[in-house]
Amino acid sequence: MKSAYEETMFILKKYNILANKSLGQNFLIDDEVIESIVETANIKKEDTIIEIGPGLGTLTNKLLEKAKKVIAIELDKRMVNILNDRFSLYNNFEIINEDVLKVDLRNMIKEQNAENVKIVANLPYYITTPIIMKLLEDRLNIQSITVMIQKEVAKRLTATPGDKLSGAITYAINYYCEPQEVLIVPNSSFIPKPEVESEVINLKLRKAHPVELTNEKLFFKLIKLAFMQRRKTLINGLSNSGRVDKKQAKELLEKVGLDEKVRGESLSMQDFANLANAIENATIHSKIINPWERTLNDSCE
Ligand code: SAM
């Protein structure tokens, strides 16, 4: 049996192709890392795996051994031809030649009657965040997401909300999933070598959200607003946005028991939830704060 390195070199030579940098093509050549991804995904015989960006098929090969079905979504036609050559005899392999961001995954899962769906991928780094947000915001019926991504992004996604490393996306991740760091991967594990280190993370989808919200959209808008002005106190951030004056901002913070000097970046999920619920409440009960939601929605996309 060939190692991942030998397999990659063999295929690149056989098809006489070079990696396309603009598509984030860094092929995994480290057998131990591949093993770790497959193990972390905890694939059972009844599972359907959606692999994003299968590339030359090194990871796909291992997924096919374990899963009931592997649906691979790959943008590069050259890769699709290679994968069809490699796996045409497998009856549990399907390839979709599309930009993953344009695929209606919800519909695809429904049409396939797929159950126990798990996402597994060595993601193209240039669109890591949009892909992960799409997987979560589309509210797919999936169990987990096991992905290799750039280490810095992994640290942000798996940070505790309110920590130094957290960003607006940290709250979204924690709202939908239980994130876990798995393995840091050096750039020598890829051909060609990326400039950055990588990390495997596992996101287990939650059955219930960790905070109760009366207006989910407002909650996320508020977090985005706070992080857009992360160096300012929350009062200044809110009042500078022109959506509410300082007095109103102060009253809102007081209402939810937050110090007036607090910065948005240090708030916990529950703090943001309390604040969003208080705003929603004020929106319903007071004409003064009525424009809140409209302006928040308008400017934070
Ligand atoms: N899975 C392979 C591996 O581990 O060696 C390749 C991983 S490589 C980091 C990322 C893969 O994603 C490439 O094959 C690339 O062509 C593919 N890709 C890039 N953009 C994509 C997109 N928008 N939709 C689907 N696949 C994409």
Residue 132 and residue 238 in one domain:
no
Tell the residue nearest (CA) to atom 1 of ligand 1.
54
> What is the rounded distance in angstroms from the CA atom of residue 153 to the CA atom of residue 125?
9
Q: Which residues contact 56 (CB under 8 A, 6 or more apart)?
A: 7, 8, 11, 12, 27, 79, 82, 83
Best of 64, 75, 127 for a ligand 1 pocket test (most atoms within 8 Å of beta carbon): 75
Residue 44 and residue 168 in one domain:
yes
Is residue 197 in some structural domain?
A: yes
Which tokens in the block code for residue 21?
Answer: 């940098």
Domain extent for 81: 4-205
Query: Burial level of 263, CB count in 10 A (0-12/13-18/19+)?
Result: middle
Is residue 136 in some structural domain?
A: yes
Q: What is the pLDDT of residues 165-189, one digit of tens each?
A: 999 999 999 999 999 999 999 999 9
Q: What is the pLDDT of residues 234-271, one digit of tens each?
A: 888 888 766 678 888 899 899 999 999 999 889 999 99
> What is the rounded distance in angstroms from the CA atom of residue 296 to the CA atom of residue 301?
9
Number of domains in the chain: 2
Helix (H) or strand (E) holding 296: helix 291-299
Is residue 210 in some structural domain?
A: no
Residue 292 and residue 259 in one domain:
yes
DSSP-based three-state secondary structure for 46: coil
Pocket residues: Cβ below 6 A from ligand 1: 23-28, 52-56, 58-59, 73-76, 79, 99-101, 122, 124, 127
Residue 239 and residue 188 in one domain:
no
Asked if 224 and 168 touch (Cβ cutoff 8 Å), the reply is yes
Ligand 1: nearest atom to the Cα of 124: 10
| CATH number of the domain bearing residue 166 | 3.40.50.150
pTM more than 0.85: yes
